[in-house]
Amino acid sequence: MGLLRYLKSVTIRCLFVVGVCFFGYGLFVNYSLQQKFQLNNPVIFEIFPGEGMGTVARRLKQKKLITTPIPLIIRARLFSFRQNIKAGTYEILITDTAESFLLKAIHGTTKKFSVTLKEGWSFADFVDELNDARYLIKNDRLEKIKIKILDSFLQELNIDALSYEGLFFPDTYFYESGDTQLTVLQMAAKKMINTLVLRWRERESGLPYKNMYEALTMASIIEKESAVALESYIISGVFLKRLASDMKLQADPTVIYGLGQEFKDKLTHSGLKKDTAYNTYTRKGLPVTPISSPGLISIKAALNPAKTNYLYFMAKGDGSHQFSTSLKEHNLAVERYRKKTHVE
């Protein structure tokens, strides 16, 4: 009996010690998981396909982001998360703890990157911006991208676009690491298609456009001409009134676009006289394609122009314009502006 009591006492003590050890180790693991990463600034961390939490935790330790990988490994094993973490690019914030990072990895809460394509930009401008975008994979075969985009406009809008210019809606687009330039361009093209369809339904009746593509072309000119939102509708009204009067649009941005690399900061008389498919001083009607990617205001203005008697306008140098109803009035306005700027 004495031996049994002794063995029982020893067993209880051993279990108590083991329990205390487990409890203490549990506190250590929990404490470690609640500690913030050793960061001064957010960092980007990649989890590769097939990696388990053990490998990830050890890499975090190697990068000196955590002091020990053990708590992360134990927590993942205890809750069967070892193989459930998702590959991707993650952002570790200065407020993140090891546990919050583990939850990000389990739920696949990867870092979203963004790129902004601005109103009035050309397709070349868009490509330059995409080339500079972080973690966005470049497409080597740009021509194939163009064909895919042109096909989407033909299929969805029955528009046989002659160029990829103007087919992308300017906006901020979000993507993940591993996405390609085509991914962003397809999002921008889809948004332009949806915008055109909606605004075309709400257009004013009696407009001279044969199709949405012509309206898009007009919107692209308005975008380059106007820096003041409210004036966009007036400029649209002027251009449409000129078309109705069988007058040339005489829009400088179309000439500049047609000159391409020949344009050197300032539009010259020889540039105005050089006939291209985009020179609205030498040719009547709209140019053959858009000249930029217009934003929503310019698209709305092209399809809902202001009622106006104006036929002319001139830039005042501050982003706004002086509008005139006759050539005589316009010439006087130009002369006044020249005298004013000469004095200043």
Residue 7 lies in a domain: no
Residue 21 has pLDDT above 50, yes or no: no
Residue 123 lies in a domain: yes
Domain that holds residue 45: 28-107
Residue finishing a domain among 168, 201, 234: 201
What is the number of H-type helices and E-type strands within the chain?
13, 6
Residue finishing a domain among 201, 223, 249: 201
Residue 29 has pLDDT above 60, yes or no: no
Residue 11 lies in a domain: no
Residue 73 has pLDDT above 60, yes or no: yes
Q: What is the mean pLDDT of residues 8-16?
A: 58
Q: What is the DSSP letter of 138?
A: P
Q: What pLDDT does residue 134 have? A: 87
Q: What pLDDT does residue 12 have? A: 64
Residues 237 and 333 occupy one common structural domain: yes
Residue 14 lies in a domain: no
Residue 17 lies in a domain: no
Question: Looking at 30-39, 82-91, 155-164, 301-310, which range is the least confident one?
Answer: 30-39
Q: What pLDDT does residue 24 have? A: 47
Residues 102 and 119 occupy one common structural domain: no
Residues 217 and 197 occupy one common structural domain: no
Q: Is 111 left (phi over 0), alpha (psi -120 to 50) or beta?
A: beta
Contacts of 312 (CB under 8 A, 6+ apart): 238, 323, 324, 325, 326, 327, 329, 330
In the chain, what is the straight-line distance between the N-terminal and C-terminal CA atoms, in Å? 114
Residues 96 and 132 occupy one common structural domain: no
Residues 269 and 237 occupy one common structural domain: yes
Angle (deg, nearest 10), helices 296-303 and 212-225: 120
The 10 Å Cβ neighbour count of residue 69 is 20
Residue finishing a domain among 60, 81, 107: 107
Q: What pLDDT does residue 334 have? A: 83
Banded model confidence at residue 244, pLDDT cuts 50, 70, 90: very high
How many angstroms separate the Cα of 210 from the Cα of each of 151, 159, 213, 267, 318?
20, 11, 8, 31, 34
Residue 138 lies in a domain: yes
Residues 100 and 139 occupy one common structural domain: no
Residues 51 and 135 occupy one common structural domain: no
Residue 33 lies in a domain: yes
Residue 25 has pLDDT above 50, yes or no: no
Q: What pLDDT does residue 319 have? A: 82
Bridge pairing between strands 172-176 and 312-315: unpaired
Most confident of 28-32, 63-67, 96-100, 168-172: 168-172
Mean pLDDT for all residues in the chain? 83
Number of domains in the chain: 3
Residue 276 has pLDDT above 90, yes or no: yes
Q: What pLDDT does residue 17 have? A: 52
Q: What is the mean pLDDT of residues 30-41?
A: 67
Residues 231 and 187 occupy one common structural domain: no
Task: For the full predicted model, state whether its pTM sits above 0.75.
Answer: yes
Residues 53 and 117 occupy one common structural domain: no
Per-residue pLDDT of 56-65, as tens digits, reads: 888 988 888 8
Encoded tokens for 213: 């593509």
Banded model confidence at residue 86, pLDDT cuts 50, 70, 90: confident
Residue 142 lies in a domain: yes
CATH number for the domain including 59? 3.30.1490
Residues 223 and 197 occupy one common structural domain: no
Angle, alpha carbons 133-135-141 (nearest 5°): 75
Residues 333 and 223 occupy one common structural domain: yes
Percent share of the chain, pLDDT over 90: 41
